[in-house]
Structure 1
């Protein structure tokens, strides 16, 4: 048996294989609206032969974007732009499409990566009309010299939860097949989870139960609002002493499972510049394995997985139920074709490309 090309289901969504294309920001939207670049990018991903494509981190509000050029889904205009792109690319592919709904929290209002590299600075100056004031659980900046974010009020928390619900309903209305809630990589929900960024003294801070409250409220509200499957991406550890850790992540995943969550997409890090990451091929897979085992919930593994044989070994050994291939699929959008060839399996491809397929 070759596990990588076995069908897999997330809730009631059945995938042809276990290759997931994870959310990858493109920084190419205009006022939150998808552009022609997204037709190129998503069209390329949908002809890859993967089992599922997940749209990049999508802001549930304007201030929830990472940069001014990130995709959003908070208005009729952003919804229509996304619907138009999906309508055009879906003519040529039946691959399921999910979306990652997100709020950047204190890591918002930044330049797109290539401009940040060019300018030598990450944050857009507050004097620039493109910038905005980030919000967070506590007024603690990501870097010590960054301007402090605004600490959220209870009303802000409730409004943000509703923003996730509104975006989820818009997602379902345009035919998206699944929703991933972004609770990883140092963005807003992760900021509530970690004691490094959450110093609140109310019911949303302090104890683990309180720090998980926002995440669980968002999950339940979104889950109850739509009929399509809703799962979660988490960072299983901050890689910082006294930060968010695997033991706490397992407790969160058990609570999410109890609310109906069908799977966890397991990543790590992103919350603190103090993180010390032992990066290498498959370096995050052990976290997916532990969560799968101890929380008894299916997992998607991610983290520098580049070779088909490595991906197959992860599944065959029971460390995860699916694998996410990000950077490698940007480098080679037909990575699943290569995997199928090397593992001697067949894969669905578009007829326009049949001449290039070797199985």
Structure 2
């Protein structure tokens, strides 16, 4: 099990092990989009538990870009201080941090705002979704600036890395898909044009911050004639060329009821990660119902990925790395204040 606890790197950032806490929306903020007491307890518990890299949940780059009224944001300078405090706390336990910068696009259900999207295609008639406004060229320029400005705030708040959210049917994912992007301009049509906005934002964030950038993608949207793994491989190769430091591979989320949904079972997404890892040289993070140390070890030993993201399992057990270390006699993982619990 040593392979799970070997020191790893994303770009120039050393990470003490291959265990990642992926971004998981908690919906615990309010209209000000600031971190609350819950967030400090939530993330610090996983740092104490031994996680190598914590990626803070989807954090909106503008108010109308929130998924819900309870999302975090980094669209205002007043929001920096809370993140700075959080980073200082997490770093004391040797854990590295990233933040997922996001725009909900057509999947925003915020009150008192109209969502924006590449095309006027509603996500669903259920659950309060609205028909989005099709973005103009000026809207696209503004969104690029919003992402870059949020990334600069993230750097000022002390994050080690940034993750760009281009998965799960949110705005950037909507631009990638031939189903949700029906534009006729330079940002729609061909695969190259549909990838253009993600590549531009990624490039501008790297230039503005000089921080390692992770990009999270949905490798397949599980719909006939939709976004799929071959297109994802193309995108990942282009992201690698412009200096992106790692790819975080998820799937689904862009189509309300996709017709090709796979069986949702342990490791159901990891083959996407393996195909992408075989196509690029930068690190790959695998995610998707990975729940045991044995599963993680298999993925790392068989070159499915470089890092393993435990989502639901870390919600159930914030001390998961410590439990794994105890089970397999790995020294130096368990916080000294908790050692007596494992005697």
Same fold (TM over 0.5): yes
Matched, 1:201 2:184: yes
Of 132, 148, 157 in structure 1, the residue corresponding to residue 113 of structure 2 is: 132
Aligned to 1:294: 279
Aligned to 2:84: 83
Range 249-258 or range 336-345, more displaced:
336-345
Q: Work out the number of aligned pairs and report it.
A: 338
After TM superposition, give the deviation of residue 91 of structure 1 in Å: 7.3
Matched, 1:33 2:34: yes
Aligned to 2:101: 101
Give runs of aligned pairs for residues 269-308 of structure 1, distance below 5 A: 269-275=252-258, 276-308=261-293
2:29/2:70 contact within 8 Å kept: yes
2:325/2:334 contact within 8 Å kept: no
Of 198, 202, 206 in structure 2, the residue corresponding to residue 219 of structure 1 is: 202
After TM superposition, give the deviation of residue 356 of structure 1 in Å: 1.8
What secondary structure, in the 3-state scheme, does the structure 2 residue paired with 1:82 have? helix
- Tell me, in whole angstroms, the C-alpha distance in 1 between the residues paired with 2:257 and 2:278: 29
Deviation per CA, 1:266-302: give whole Å up to 9, x if none.
Answer: 0000000232132111010000000000234321111
Q: 1:142 to 1:91 in 2, by over 3 A?
A: closer
What secondary structure, in the 3-state scheme, does the structure 1 residue paired with 2:74 have? coil
Aligned to 1:116: none
Deviation per CA, 1:112-170: give whole Å up to 9, x if none.
Answer: xxxxxxxxxxxxxxxxxx33111000000001564310001111111111111101111
- Tell me, in whole angstroms, the C-alpha distance in 2 between the residues paired with 1:319 and 1:11: 19
Instruction: Give the CA RMSD over aligned residues.
Output: 1.5
- Tell me, in whole angstroms, the C-alpha distance in 2 between the residues paired with 1:347 and 1:281: 29
Of 300, 312, 316 in structure 1, the residue corresponding to residue 297 of structure 2 is: 312
What secondary structure, in the 3-state scheme, does the structure 2 residue paired with 1:241 have? coil
Range 332-341 or range 63-72, more displaced:
332-341
1:92/1:350 contact within 8 Å kept: no
2:16/2:94 contact within 8 Å kept: no
Matched, 1:52 2:53: yes
What secondary structure, in the 3-state scheme, does the structure 2 residue paired with 1:242 have? coil
Runs of 4+ in 1 over 4 A off after TM superposition: none
Of 313, 336, 342 in structure 1, the residue corresponding to residue 327 of structure 2 is: 342
1:58/1:65 contact within 8 Å kept: yes
Of 122, 132, 136 in structure 2, the residue corresponding to residue 141 of structure 1 is: 122
- Tell me, in whole angstroms, the C-alpha distance in 1 between the residues paired with 2:86 and 2:283: 31
What secondary structure, in the 3-state scheme, does the structure 2 residue paired with 1:294 have? coil
TM-score, with structure 2 as normaliser? 0.95
Deviation per CA, 1:47-88: give whole Å up to 9, x if none.
Answer: 12011111100001111111111000011211123223444x
Unmatched runs of 5 consecutive residues or more in structure 1: 111-129
What secondary structure, in the 3-state scheme, does the structure 1 residue paired with 2:72 have? coil
TM-score, with structure 1 as normaliser? 0.91
- Tell me, in whole angstroms, the C-alpha distance in 1 between the residues paired with 2:207 and 2:303: 31
Aligned to 1:114: none
1:308/1:342 contact within 8 Å kept: no
What secondary structure, in the 3-state scheme, does the structure 2 residue paired with 1:336 have? helix
- Tell me, in whole angstroms, the C-alpha distance in 1 between the residues paired with 2:281 and 2:219: 15
